[in-house]
Each structure stands twice: as structure tokens, then as C-alpha cells.
Amino acid sequence: MKYVTGIFAALLAVLLLFMYPLYEQARSQDKIANIVIQSAATHFIDSARTKGYITPQMYKEFNAQLAATGNQYEVELEHLHKQTSPDYSDPANPVTFQNSFTTYYSGFYNQQILAVLFPDGTLPSDDPSRRYTMQVGDYIGIQMTNKNRTAATQLWDFLMSDNTQENSTVLMNYEGMVLHEDY
């Protein structure tokens, strides 16, 4: 019985002295990664909002900041282009204008945005045709989650004999309205 108690005490000591501090260190890395991607996403989206466009260089700098965290991310860009349409009681007759307009948004996502930034051709990265432009009143946003299992998630699963199957411990959503057209 003494040996069982001694073995249990030794395992508990290993757990408390080594594993828990290691887990806390891994959790702090996740928190630091959250701060880094929050800063990177805020800077990227705010730059796009104030300039009214995204360039390949802006996108590459943003990705370089994400890579510094050591995690892989699923990045989803969303551009909502504001459009207005006049209201008519009879669309075929311009005299029936109702003195009002309907506002709606057309959505553009990664596929359309990245096709403009990185076309198949050999244009230089500063070519104006590779600039993704927006208009005042549009919305630009980003959603990010990590794709890999961080060390904190793996340690938690080990300590709890669990398998969370959850990768997204580093998350970021940010969006805003385009304020200027500086092109």
C-alpha cells in the first residue's frame, strides 16, 4: 500500500511540477497568437478601409504577420459592395418613381478578391490592375481560425485523456465600413 501511495504521489508531483506549467506556457502562446492576429487583422482591414483598396503587398505583409505565430489559419475575406436601386411602382414606366431607394449589398469573397490580387499573368505586384478596389460605404471584413491543433489543445487532451477534435483556439473576426477611396 505504501508503494501505491508513493507512486501516486510521484505521478501527482510530475503532473503538478512539469505538465501543468507546460500547459500554461502553451496557453500563453495561444493568447499571444490571438493578440498578434488581432493586431495584424485590425491593421490590414483598417488600412483597406482608409485607402479603399487592397494590394498584393498589403496581403503578403498580413500573411507574414500570421506566419510569425507558428499556426496555420483559415482566412476568409468578405467585401460587401453597397448598391442602391430606385423604387418604381411600374419598373417599365419612369414616371412611377416612388421617391425612395432600396439599398442592397453584393458579396465578394476570397475567390474573387484573390483573383484580382494574384492573377495568373506575370504582372508586377505594383501594377494598378492588381489592386482590389472598393467604394465608400462598402464593408470589408475578415474571419480567421487556426487550422492546426495548438500545443495547448494537445496537452489538454493528453492531461484529460480526451480528444476534443477542436482546432480553433485562435480566432479573429473584424470588419468595418470603407471610409475613403484613395486611388
Domain ranges of the chain: 2-177
To 10 degrees, what angle do helices 20-51 and 151-160 make? Answer: 150
Question: 180: number of CA atoms within 13 Å, CB side?
Answer: 8
**pLDDT value of position 53:** 96
Q: Which residue has the higher pLDDT, 169 or 43?
A: 43
Residue, of 22 and 67, whose pLDDT is higher: 67
Query: Which has more pLDDT, 162 or 81?
Result: 81
Cα–Cα distance for residue pair 133/135, rounded to 1 Å:
7
Between 125 and 77, where is the model more confident?
77
pLDDT at 160: 67
Phi, psi of 41 (to 5 degrees): -65, -40
Percent of the chain with pLDDT over 70: 88
CA 155 to chain centre: 25
pLDDT(85) > 80: yes
CA-CA distance, 172 to 112, in Å (whole number)?
Answer: 21
Task: Kindly list the strands in the beta sheet with 97-109, ordered across the sheet, starting from the edge strand earlier in the chain.
Answer: 97-109, 73-88, 139-146, 171-177
- What are the DSSP E strand ranges found in 30-163? 53-54, 73-88, 97-109, 132-133, 139-146
Written as nine digits, the cell of 168 is 480553433
The mean per-residue pLDDT over the stretch 130-159 comes to: 84
Q: Are 116 and 48 in contact (CB under 8 A)?
A: no
Instruction: Return mean pLDDT, the chain.
Output: 86
Res 118 pLDDT > 80: yes
* Overall size of the chain counted in residues: 183
Mean pLDDT (whole number) for 9-20: 75
Residue 86 has pLDDT above 80, yes or no: yes
Checking if the pLDDT of 116 tops 90, the result is yes
Residues in Cβ contact with 48 at an 8 Å cutoff, skipping those fewer than 6 apart: 54, 58, 134, 140, 178
Residue 95 CB: number of other CB atoms within 10 A?
7
Query: Sorting pLDDT into bands at 50, 70 and 90, what band is 178?
Result: very high
Residue that wins the pLDDT comparison between 147 and 161: 147
Specify the range with the lowest mean pLDDT, choosing from 53-62, 72-81, 161-170: 161-170
